[in-house]
Structure 1
Amino acid sequence: MSTPRADLAAAGAHFAALGLSPGSSGNLSVRDGEHILITPTGADLARIDPGALSVLDPDGQYVDGPRPSKEFPLHTAFYRRNPEAGAVVHLHSRHATAVSCLPPWSPRSAVPPLTPYFVMRVGQTPLLPYAPPGDAAQAEHLAGLGFPLRAALLQNHGPVVAGTDMGAAVESAVELEEVSALLLALGDRPARLLSPEESALLAAKYASPWGAGSGTGARA
């Protein structure tokens, strides 16, 4: 039977197998009733012990287990801004991190609508200004953004993605990495993007966050 602890450990092993969590980078969390389970500081996602996770309350206060990842404010920010979020993934995956080092496509999305699956599974992905890892002010910035989102890029750092459950968060994180790889492969060549109308239809059909202001980027 699936449990939040088992789902988190399985997600970590999956990311490691895909090569999306080099070394001891990245951290994962999942809701478990009234608590949040998060990977401990320095955890290797390939070898997560489901029984040795950090336990926090919804405000990020320590409850039990080993010391949590220093990135826990990012996780709790997503849970605060979206009560439907059931899991959060933060990676240092190569392509999404590279895109986080580039100018954003628009104020609401660092990544343009290159593919329907990016719009469907991820949606607008803002670039948050650089801050040191674990910075509480950056997490508050994320929590206070006034438009819907399920993913963001941390400048010069990497992606953070939320989902209704761990499976959804994993799917969105993998899709964000893939569209980032496509964006880098295209380089400066002119690319055909989905039109605002095409993006809006997909967003409406799949309840994905892609709002007004997502389609006016300088890199379009």
Structure 2
Amino acid sequence: MSDARAELVAAGAALSAAGLSPGTSGNLSVRVGGRIYMTPTGARLEALDPEALAVLDADAPLDAGHTAGPAPSKEFPLHRAFYRRDPATRAVVHLHSAHAAACSCLPPWSRRSALAPLTPYFVMRVGQTPLIPYAAPGDPEQARQLELLDFPFHAALLQNHGPITAGDTLARAVDAAVELEEVSRLTLLLKDTGPRVLTTEEAGALARRYGTVWEPVAGR
């Protein structure tokens, strides 16, 4: 348990040092058994304390379940939605990284992915990434929309807000968040240039090999 908390604290410091979590933005969580450990509301990711994390009951309703420690980030329903979608999920990372936040303000590439498969690494580390319609931060209804989407994914862009990623380890959720920021930067650099993207066959083969998801979409 203490190792999971220490890993969360180290991940927060690394994301902050990389410039992906300005100010008090962003939040992380890890699930350990029946508990979710999460960054507190208003916390700076470079200054987390493993003994001062919010604790939530992993089996509580989507918008409830705070059991100990300081109040969790208001975004905890989104984290819970990912845990409820897939029992294998062990960590969730939500950032306000600049390029991904910018792409969340643009029309999505397809229904199943806001971003095109520009690089193999986006498909390998992230996979299809839907755009979740706008809601005020902390709105449980947005978390319900994410939970109930009828296709698989391990990352999303929250419209006019930013990225959120999930993984079966915290390291994978962090790697996905970093790669999502990178492909967002490329998307903005290439905007309106008509770049080549990976074909459905190319992206699908990578997804199957690396355990992510990339499904065909009509017209794409």
TM-score, scaled to structure 1:
0.96
Give 1:90's aligned residue: 94
Of 167, 175, 178, the residue aligned with 2:179 is 175
Contact 2:200–2:216 at 8 Å: present in 1 too?
no
User: For the residues of structure 2 that align with 1:135 and 1:124, how far apart are their CA atoms?
Assistant: 23
Corresponding position of 2:71: 67
Q: Determine the structure 2 residue equivalent to 1:37.
A: 37
Detail structure 1 runs of 4+ shifted over 3 Å in the superposition.
Answer: none
Instruction: Kindly provide the amino acid, as one letter, of the partner of residue 135 in structure 1.
Output: D
Gaps (5+ residues) in structure 2?
Answer: none
Deviation at 1:2, TM superposition (A): 7.2
Question: Match of 1:151?
Answer: 155
Instruction: Indicate the residue corresponding to 1:14 in structure 2.
Output: 14
Describe the SS at the equivalent of 1:111. Answer: coil
1:122 aligns with 2:118: no
2:52 corresponds in structure 1 to: 52
Report the alpha carbon displacement of residue 212 of structure 1 after superposing the two structures with TM: 2.6
Residue aligned with 1:108, SS: coil
Deviations 1:6-46 (A, max 9, x none): 01000100100100000000000001221000000000001
* CA RMSD after TM alignment: 1.2
Aligned length: 216
Please, what TM-score do these two structures have when normalized by structure 2?
0.96
Q: Residues 180-219 of structure 1 correspond to what in structure 2 (within 5 A)?
A: 180-213=184-217, 216-217=219-220
Residue 135 of structure 1 corresponds to 139
For residues 168 and 207 of structure 1, the distance between their equivalents in structure 2, rounded to whole angstroms, comes to: 11
| Deviation per residue, 1:47-78 (Å, 9 max, x gap) | 00111000001124011000110000000000
Deviation at 1:207, TM superposition (A): 1.6
- Where structure 1 has 5 or more consecutive residues not aligned to the other structure, the ranges are none
Amino acid of the structure 2 residue aligned with 1:142: L
Between the aligned partners of 1:76 and 1:108, the Cα distance in structure 2 is: 21
Deviations, residues 127-160 of structure 1 (Å, cap 9, x unaligned): 0000000000000000001111000000000001
* Percent identity of paired positions between Structure 1 and Structure 2: 62
In structure 2, the CA distance between the partners of 1:216 and 1:7, relative to structure 1 (3 Å rule), is farther
1:99 equivalent in structure 2: 103
Distance 1:177 1:121 in 2: 12
- CA deviation string 1:167-202 (max 9, x = no partner): 010000000000000010112111010011101111
